[in-house]
Every structure is written in structure tokens, then in C-alpha cells.
Amino acid sequence: METNTIDEILMSGFRLDNVQTFHDMPVSEQNHEGKRTEILMTYVGELPNACPNCGFKLYAHSAKEILVSDTTFVGGPTKLRLTFPRKRCKSCGYIYHPKVDSIDESRYMTKRLFAKMANLALKRSFDDIANEYGVTNNTVKNVFKQFIREKEEELRFQTPAFLGLDEIKIKKLGELTVITDLEHKTLYDMMQGRNQLSLTEYFFNMPNRDRVLWVCTDMYRPFEKSIKKAFPNAKWVIDHYHVVAYANRAMDAIRISVQSKMTREERIRTKKGLAYTLRTRAKHMPPEEAMKIRECRGNEILQPLATAFDLKEDFFNIYDEHQNSIDDAKQAFADWEASIPSDAIYDDFRKLAKTVHNFYEQIFNYWVCPATITNGFTECTNRIIRENNIRGRGNSFEILRGRTLYRHANLERIEKNGMLLGPHIPKQGPVFHYEEVKGIQDTVVEDETDYFNSFDYDPTIGLIPGVNFDPDTGEVLDDTLLDEWRAAVDNPDMEFE
């Protein structure tokens, strides 16, 4: 525990009476000895004789004792037990007692503890913080909620020119819309809901809406009207990750159809890890995986898989090989659509072609945008939101939003790129602090195996190229293929769907 609060109390007229240590707390990683400390102090300073309100005489009143939480002292929770006299005015009823600037009596904690807990709550669970400082979970939660509300007005972000929109489903909170600044790779905001009415209302409340020039999303049709109404200068572009993902899904549908007609022995003999092979891009495919594709071409039963692989690769190459010409890209798509065999097994690729026609302008706006635009950062932000939600399972939307939006890394990047309209964000120390609070250290010793630290989080950690992550497009794939891949590694003789 820093000494400045104790010094301030002593200078305010209090006397240090005793320091008591108890060993009655649960043993935890933060409190190895299960101890807590109480510091007993009594006010012995001067008292006024006249009422500050009406000027009449003050008379002695009963003494008062309060228990104030403070930052940890010698490794355990600390309470300041303060006793002070009171005086009462018989004329107006005013009751006087000594005040200490560094103590917030309404919360029964020091102001430095409030700031410390608020900052720790950005990256650690409420239960963990409550155990460390000897307070309740609700106390930490209320501190963080007030912390967020107090800073809402101070932190105003510049409206981005390149806006990213995506949705994420969180249990008990439902669908959330994630809004990012794709140009500077920062989280702009989160909102509850995804329907057209709520989107339009939110967009119209954004300042300087005319700044928005490009909006990158998935193929969610309600975005169209909301974007047109709220952003007069913006073009809507479909994230190409979502477009090419349909090619992978169409190929998977064909693989499942072909494998469903095989006997168990045929699956075991020929299909080990084939799902992984088909998802791998040809330009990154090792020789042993390429051999599997060649074997499919020479096998009458497996030949549709090779054709599906070629269709998938050709669709990806519309983006890869024609990045500088929208006309060439449109022609490449037309040629690809014409190359789809008429057999019913390839109907999913025809559905993909129909999808492209349904969003033709928005998909090919990718080639009109002056900079390569992708919603990959928004997808990665979704992973951080999920991790933050896991750390505080059951928390409200307000808390989840605060923990994600006010991460130090996000705020620092916003400020660095000139997109922060509010106060300066300190490069070291707490994300926010009160002027009265001094000497707070923001260095927190954490066990990385226990705490998710989204401050320094790399969203690609744990992703396996070709299995649940496409290294070329940045697409984060679903876990179905990951489970199948793990099963193939753990049990080579296992049959697949």
C-alpha cells in the first residue's frame, strides 16, 4: 500500500493509534497467508466552534467510526478504521465532522482504491479483485460501472472514414453490433441489437456522419437502408472474407456428400485429413497434400472433390489475381460461373454465384475502394469480446462494452492516430486517474495461465492456418473443421462425415 493516503490523513489531524494484522481471510493467489490489516486512527485536530452554515454555536455530538477500504498493505486487504468527533448546530441541525480529501465516504474507500479497482477491472475478473481487496463482487462491479459512466463524456471518438460492422452473439445479451475504425484498427463502439431500426437510430446519433466514406460488413441486408439513410457519402462494401467463405462451405458440402456414400473402410483408407487438405490453398499446399488432390482426380468416386477444390481455388483467385482491375475481376467471375458443371452435386457453387449477383455492386465495390478494405480486424475484435465475456460471465452489456472499448491498447491507438477528441491518455499508469490520486502503479503481476490479458492480446493466437484460420484471407473459420482436424491428429483411423 502506498503511504501517501496515510500521510494525508495524518496531516489532516488524525493520529495513528495501532496497526492490527489478522489471519482470518481465505488463502488465495493474491493473499498467500490469508491475512488482512486494520489501521486504527483517531482525529485529534482542531474543531470549529461556529456553524459554517448559519454561524451559530456548535455543540459536542456523538463520535463516529467508519471503516474505509484501501489498497493492499503487506500483501493483504487493508481497512482504515477512522474515529472522529462530531459537532452539531442546534439552530439549523448541521452536523460537522472532519473531512479527508483522499477518502470517498460515500463508497467507504480511498479514492486511490477506486481508481485502482476500476483499472484492474478492465482486465481481471471482479471476483479476483474483490478477493484481493477484501470487498464484495458487487462493490467492484459498481465501481467499474460508475467509472465507465463518469468517463463517457470525457472520451469522445472521431467518427471513422472507414467503418467496419459485424455482429457477435453473447449468451444472455443476445446479438451485439461491433463497430470498428478499419483505417486505424481500433474499436469505435458496441451496441445491443442488430435490427434496422436500432442501427439507423445509432448511426444518426453519430457525430460528423458525413465523414464516413466506406462501410465494410457481411451480407446482412438491413445494413443497406441504414447506411444509405445515415451516411450520405458512404459506399457499402461486402467483406471479401465473408464472400470467399461461401466457396469453402460449398466445397465442404460436396465433400460431405461424397463421403456419405463411402463404406467405413473406404473412408479410413482414403479420407484421412482430407477436409484439411481441401481447405488448404493450392499455393501453400505441401507435396503430400497435393498428392491427395491428384489421387482424387484419378478416382471416379472422388473426382467431384477435385473439381470442387478447383472451383474453390478459382473463386479465391478472383480476388488474388485481379486486384487492380474491377473489369478483370467481373470477367473472372463470369468465367468462373460458366465453368460450374451442371451436375446437381455442384448446386452449392451455383448458390454462391447467385449470392454474388444479389450483392453484385457491394461485392465489387471492393475494387473501387482506394485502399484494400477488410473486416478482419472486426472479426479479431469479436474474439477479444468473447474472451472478456468469459472472464466476467454473466456481466451486463455496459460492463462488457467498457472492458473492451476502454482497453489501454485500444485507447492508446485511438489517440496516436488523432481520433480521440477527449482528454490525453497517459502512456504509463492507469488508463484514467483522478487528479487527487498520486503514486498509483499500474504494473500488475499476473499469472498468464490464469488471466486473459486483452491489453497485449494477439487475436491470431491459437489459430491453425488451413484449419480454423485462412492465412491468405484472414478468415476465422468455424470450429467444426477444427474438431475434425484434431480428431484426425489424435486418431488417424477415425472416420469422418
Cα gap 392→408, rounded to integer Å: 18
Buried b (16+ CB within 10 A) or exposed e, 464-481: eebbbbbeebbbbbeeeb
In one letter, which amino acid is 434? Y
Cα gap 268→359, rounded to integer Å: 41
C-alpha cell at 492: 488417424
Q: Which of 199-203, 331-335, 458-462 has the highest mean pLDDT?
A: 331-335
Give mean pLDDT, residues 340-362. Answer: 95
pLDDT, tens digit, 9 for 90 and up, residues 390-447: 776 667 888 888 888 887 777 777 777 777 655 444 444 333 322 222 333 333 333 3
The predicted structure's pLDDT at residue 261:
81
In one letter, which amino acid is 268? I
State the chain's mean pLDDT as an integer: 80
pTM confidence score = 0.67
Give mean pLDDT, residues 151-180. Answer: 86
For every residue of 6-48, DSSP letters joined together read HHHHHHTTEEEEEEEEE--SPP-SS-TT--EEEEEEEE-S---
Cα gap 406→116, rounded to integer Å: 15
For every residue of 188-230, DSSP letters joined together read EEEEE--SHHHHHHHHHTSTTGGG--EEEE-S-THHHHHHHHH
Any idea what the Cα angle at residue 355 is, between residues 214 and 216, rounded to 5°? 15
What would you measure as the largest C-alpha separation in the chain, in angstroms? 105
Give mean pLDDT, residues 229-244. Answer: 93
More confident residue, 134 or 237: 237
Give mean pLDDT, residues 114-126. Answer: 84
Cα gap 109→114, rounded to integer Å: 7
CB under 8 Å to 470, separation ≥6 — which residues?
241, 244, 248, 279, 281, 477
HSE of 489 in the Cβ direction (CA atoms, 13 Å)?
9
The predicted structure's pLDDT at residue 232:
93
Residue 469 has pLDDT above 80, yes or no: no
